[in-house]
Amino acid sequence: MKIKYILLPEFMQTKFPLVSEGGGSSYEKATFAGGCFWCMESLFKQLDGVKNVISGYTGGKTENPTYEEVCTGKTGHLEAVQIVYNPLVISYETLLEDFWKNIDPTDPAGQFVDKGSQYKTAVFYHNEEQKESALKSREVLAESGKFSDPVVTEILPAAEFYKAEEYHQDYFRKRVNQYKFYRAASGRDEFLNRLWRGKENIFEEKHKNYSKPADSELTKKLTGIQYAVTQKDATEKPFDNEHWNNKEEGIYVDVVSGEPLFISRDKFNSGTGWPSFTRPVSEQFIVTKEDKSFLMKRTEVRSRYADSHLGHLFQDGPEPTGFRYCINSASLTFIPKSHMQEEGYGKYLYLFEK
């Protein structure tokens, strides 16, 4: 399957000057400030067509600022990410769309739990075409009726960008537990899910392949246990399900939508009788929520676009994450590694090489 990335049709004709990175490939830069740069880096690094994302500081007056200096709010810098991307694979408008859908553009004081001028939002454009696209997309957002407060995110010319300290780079991968706890407590996901999940998109939907079919189609497509698990939050029997003891290399996707969820490399034998994983393929396709059913307090795991019930998340897993995603086989379709390319999941093959 091939995903087509579009924000608005008229934007697709915008052409940006290409910068050669060697080897015949051409890339462009995009710079966004969206509050905590850990969250922005984890978002953009998971997008197809993005070569690199660097966390850093920009928009201030101090040369080579440190994290401690920026945190005082006195240097004028914003925490930001600089993205190197291939415009033939992913458009600048798609990057803008993902940016808007992962921030609160109405907050002039920061983002979510993080307050201070260093956490304000901004789009830093690198040329006039980016400026025009950013202004147009902000206008669409402001006039969409999504927000009762005005959109205050600034559109600014790109300034000197200073790379943040090394321990900030890839923080969401280096310090998985700390990042997940910060993210859960920040209020960002709760806000974004309330605003966007399951609601009409003001931008053209780019995950058409991952939409949820009508219930009448689901009853035909799914088996009884698959429907009960994904649609009615049921739990299948342990040690008596399709994937609990599967040791073959490959990717596990949502049985309803095909969203990529987990890979065999992160699967382990938890002794529970259900497929267990240390991490998802991408946080882009996973949603967690509190589950107080059966007189227990647990963390439920659901797929983002199909809203399928998958299972539960526990904090008793092995290193490197310490997490156990306990997932029902009935919510998963397994695609062997040898078939991933032809089934449209070739971009995830790199995960088996790490």
Hey, which residues are catalytic here?
36, 326
Closest to 37 in 3D by CA, of 175, 141, 172: 172
Exposed / middle / buried, residue 64 (Cβ in 10 Å: 0-12, 13-18, 19+): exposed
Q: Which amino acid is at 112?
A: F
Contacts of 125 (CB under 8 A, 6+ apart): 131, 134, 155, 156, 157, 158
Report the alpha-carbon distance of residue 14 to residue 99 in Å, rounded: 19
Q: Answer whether the bond into residue 275 is a cis peptide, omega within 30°.
A: no
Q: What is the DSSP letter of 81?
A: E
Per-position DSSP letters for 204-271, written without gaps between them: PPS-GGGPPPPHHHHHHHS-HHHHHHHHH---PPTTSSSSTT----EEEEETTT--EEEEGGGEE--S
CA 176 to chain centre: 15
